Amino acid sequence: SQKIEQNSEALNIQEGKTATLTCNYTNYSPAYLQWYRQDPGRGPVFLLLIRENEKEKRKERLKVTFDTTLKQSLFHITASQPADSATYLCALVSSYGNKLVFGAGTILRVKS
Amino acid sequence: KAGVTQTPRYLIKTRGQQVTLSCSPISGHRSVSWYQQTPGQGLQFLFEYFSETQRNKGNFPGRFSGRQFSNSRSEMNVSTLELGDSALYLCASSLRQANTEAFFGQGTRLTVV
């Protein structure tokens, strides 16, 4: 069956450090992968989309890598700030229908 | 431009009742998807509508239904509510397809008592 796995434990890091979040998937052949941020009680907010032929994508302090051989995406936040504390979700298009499927998300806590 | 608007924001219903939630997508967006989010299950896909047609459906019972109007606004309905239906219901709009960048609303927090 298709699975998307993200670190189930919260990631606690110190302000200024780089946060790295992992998204692993099985039984998918995604053309692209997306990352979203979600704050408590609010809807997810789109951050980045990376295509299968792109190894890396950057947006300001954010960087995403996509390794289709390892079936893994890494999401980096450099120079992290307490305001980056949130849940980060990765999402893939399911092979069964044209729908976006989300991982369970990883909670990031940045301490000052 | 205005974002995705969901109404109401909060709702308390009794078991057995039915509920209708509303979603107004971003102007020009034709795809509307609905998700249920609970602490245990995360974001679960309910269904997607595009140009008034249901294009995809998740693994939810028939008590969950939806529709889309000609102006792309969408409603979802849950009949015979159960305690387990308590969740945050999120609507997302996309320009063309549900698998492209999705813009989410604030959600409707449904509590079934």
Which residues 6-45 on chain A approach chain B with CB closer than 8 angstroms? Answer: 34, 36, 41-45
pLDDT for A97: 60
Question: What would the mean pLDDT of A31-47 be, rounded to a whole number?
Answer: 93
Give the minimum alpha-carbon distance from A50 to chain B in angstroms, rounded to a whole number: 11
What are the Cα distances from residue B110, in Å, to A49, B9, B60? Answer: 30, 8, 16
Low-confidence ranges of chain B (pLDDT < 50): none
Classify residue A78 as exposed, middle or buried by CB count within 10 Å of its CB (0-12, 13-18, 19+): middle
Report the C-alpha gap between B6 and B22 in whole angstroms. Answer: 6
Lowest mean pLDDT among A8-22, A26-40, B19-33: A26-40
Give the minimum alpha-carbon distance from B71 to chain A in angstroms, rounded to a whole number: 22
pLDDT for A96: 63
Summarised one tens digit per residue, pLDDT across range A62-106 is 999 999 899 999 999 999 999 999 999 999 876 666 778 899 999
C-beta atoms of B99 and A103 within 8 A? no
Average pLDDT, chain A: 92
Report the C-alpha gap between B16 and A23 in whole angstroms. Answer: 39
Report the C-alpha gap between B75 and B66 in whole angstroms. Answer: 6
- Report DSSP letters for A38-52, one per residue: E-TTS--EEEEEEET
Report the C-alpha gap between B72 and B90 in whole angstroms. Answer: 16
